[in-house]
Amino acid sequence: MENISIEEVHRRMEAGEKLNLVDMREPSENAEFNIGGILHPLGKIRDFEIDELEGLKGQEVICYCRSGNRSGQGAMMLESMGFTNVKNLVGGMLAWREKYSV
């Protein structure tokens, strides 16, 4: 698993690049604020419920959560399930909102 900065993801999004973002927070957290990722809480990954992510196994997948802790765990789990290019968004949505939200 590699780490990726909020600045790098933001730059790539602003450039119009299509990113495979996976939000590992709970639905209530996602409803409060999100950056457009697929909502897939960490608990689902722990239970090996990854059907909706299977098509991303060979692609870059950027995981995020509130602070980067849950997504770091989830990213490592995805790697153990055969995902080959998984990155963790350092600082998560706390850092994102601090830097980019009004």
Q: How far is CA 62 from the centre of its chain?
A: 4
Structure tokens at 99: 């830097």
Give the CATH number, domain containing residue 20.
3.40.250.10
Q: What pLDDT score was predicted for residue 101? A: 81
pLDDT digits (tens, 9 = 90+) for 23-70: 999 999 999 999 999 999 999 999 999 999 999 999 999 999 999 999
Total domains in the chain come to 1
Residue 29 structural domain? 2-100
- Per-residue pLDDT band at 102 (split at 50, 70, 90): low
d(CA 48, CA 4): 24
Q: How far is CA 12 from the centre of its chain?
A: 14
Rg, the chain, Cα only: 12
> Which helix (DSSP H) or strand (DSSP E) does residue 98 occupy?
helix 92-100
